[in-house]
């Protein structure tokens, strides 16, 4: 894509497949109409590194990183590697939002980014006790016939990417202690482009949201341990879950129950047992919202 290179942000990719690269091409073409320009270039001229979540790609990017911003594509892993994270499946809206955040970070450095003038200095990335600076030093050291400790740390922290046969648009978390309800929602979601994970209690749900960025959450109210109201309140205190749709599920259908759910931060309310027509209508409405704003 031709751009005014003096105002364009350079991007170097590491390990992305053809279909994922095509998604970035679509986003770049779209945001160019709004005045935000990006272009692909060599790593030495890039402002942003977009790195696949595998050990080899991360190692290669770290070896070449100087002042570039590091955007990691894969599962949400809290190991200190990466300035931003885009979770799979790669949605246009997710890519667009992350690139916009990266633009803001570059502007926050006090100068307009260009291809050859990368003045933004991101926080120092650590892999256990080894920093990027020490990694750069280690690269110059003659390679011994053993795996370096920092590479072992990367291999241990980065999950192996599973090849998905079906393409999904969104990822949902279903939280309910009833196996029958979980199965019912699994059947309802089976015909959609929504991949679902499952949790049987509030504590397990909070563990999962800490590791994965979900696009929507189906949340039972009455559960052992902490109930759905408390889980919802905790979610809304997390910066990355403030706007995520939360659908409360409960056998309680009184108006006070719905009000309590709304006060806890719920987006909407479905009575159990969930009716197919009501579920699909709610899902259709939320999917449209996610397509525009997620």
pLDDT band at 92 (very low <50, low <70, confident <90, very high): confident
The pLDDT, as a whole number, for residue 293 is 61
pLDDT in tens, 197-249: 999 999 999 999 998 889 999 999 999 899 999 999 999 999 889 989 999 99
Does the pLDDT value for residue 41 go beyond 50?
yes
Sheet with 216-220, edge to edge strand ranges: 194-199, 170-175, 216-220, 246-250, 268-271
Q: 40 has which bridge partners?
A: 11
| Among 74-88, 110-124, 145-159, the least confident range | 110-124
Residue spans in the chain of domains classed CATH 3.40.50.2300: 5-157, 170-293
Report the CATH number of the 5-157 domain.
3.40.50.2300
pTM beyond 0.75, yes or no: no
13 to 21, 42, 159, 196: CA distances (angstroms):
8, 9, 19, 29
Phi/psi of residue 73, nearest 5 degrees? -105, 115
The second-level CATH assignment, the architecture, of 170-293 is 3-Layer(aba) Sandwich (3.40)
């Amino acid at each position: 894509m031709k751009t005014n290179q003096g105002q364009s942000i350079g991007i170097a990719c590491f390990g992305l497949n053809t279909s994922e690269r095509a998604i970035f091409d679509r986003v770049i073409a779209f945001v160019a109409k709004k005045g935000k320009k990006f272009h692909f270039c060599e790593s030495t001229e890039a402002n942003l590194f977009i790195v696949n979540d595998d050990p080899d790609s991360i190692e290669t990017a770290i070896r070449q990183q100087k002042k570039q911003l590091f955007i990691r594509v894969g599962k949400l892993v809290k190991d200190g590697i990466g300035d931003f994270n885009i979770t799979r499946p790669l949605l246009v809206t997710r890519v667009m939002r992350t690139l916009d955040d990266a633009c803001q970070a570059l502007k926050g450095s006090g100068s307009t980014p260009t291809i050859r003038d990368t003045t933004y200095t991101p926080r120092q990335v650590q892999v256990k006790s080894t920093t990027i600076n020490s990694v750069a030093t280690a690269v110059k050291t003659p390679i011994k016939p053993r795996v370096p400790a920092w590479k072992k740390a990367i291999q241990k922290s980065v999950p192996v990417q599973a090849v998905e046969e079906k393409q999904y648009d969104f990822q949902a978390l279903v939280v309910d202690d009833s196996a029958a309800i979980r199965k019912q929602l699994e059947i309802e979601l089976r015909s959609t482009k929504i991949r679902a994970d499952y949790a049987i209690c509030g504590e397990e749900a909070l563990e999962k949201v800490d590791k994965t960025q979900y696009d929507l959450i189906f949340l039972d109210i009455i559960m052992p341990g902490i109930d759905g109201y408390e889980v919802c309140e905790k979610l809304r205190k997390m910066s990355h879950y403030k706007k995520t749709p939360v659908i409360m599920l409960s056998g309680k259908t009184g108006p006070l129950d719905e009000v309590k759910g709304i006060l806890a931060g719920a987006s909407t309310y479905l009575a159990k047992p969930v009716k197919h027509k009501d579920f699909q209508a709610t899902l259709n409405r939320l999917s449209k919202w996610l397509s525009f704003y997620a």
